Structure 1
Amino acid sequence: MLKEVEGMEIKLNIPGLDDFTVILKKGMYPEQRLALRLIDKEDFAPFATITVNVPHKSHQLQPGEFFIKTWGENEQVINALREKTEIFVDTGRRVDVSDLATAEIWRFADGVNVDDIQAL
């Protein structure tokens, strides 16, 4: 059903990190919005937080959607995740987080059960 995602493990192709495997974990921001973090499968160290909390823009989210941090250290990670269309769907909507940063609005692909993602 969801190839390469057994137990929400995700193989990423990031320059310099060929076939790097992470585990997708979930948490909640204070406003009860979904937070998503990638954990290194080898040593279980946090690798990247792929979501960003933007409380003053949360009204723009539909149920099941979340803000994705695409700038800075997340840029290559997010580019690799874009290939994982069996897990994530980019809605095409964007919100300005600051004068220099724009967050993307994503959701999970059909068939992905958020309850199957382990909590942080």
Structure 2
Amino acid sequence: MSTSDLGISMTNERIASGEARSTSGVKAAKGGSWFEVLAAALGDILGDRVNAMMDAKNRMVENYKETLDPKSGEQQSKEYMRAMTDFQTQSQIFGIESNAIKSALDSIGNGLKEISKR
């Protein structure tokens, strides 16, 4: 499975589970097209991923404090490394989802453009 397929699969799972149902205030009934509603929902997915990245970054900052106590320093170091690993993981997932969403929106947009020419 390519990273694009993985990203599309992850995005589809979030949509199917209802996790990506928020539309950031864009409503088709109030002038927004279904394409805008879809784009807003997909944007919310990326926003959630950025929030997870920021949470991991904040945990990294909290746990990066110098200490004289080797025991607490070791534990602190483990917590820092967990947060750093989480940040790296969230960053990679963000990249995968971002590319998948861009590909999906490009494909749909190009399809709509072709349909409108006819």
Higher RCO (CA-CA < 8 Å; seq separation 6+) = 2
Tell me the TM-score normalised to structure 2 length: 0.30
**Bigger radius of gyration:** 2
Higher share in helix: 2
- Greater per-residue strand proportion: 1
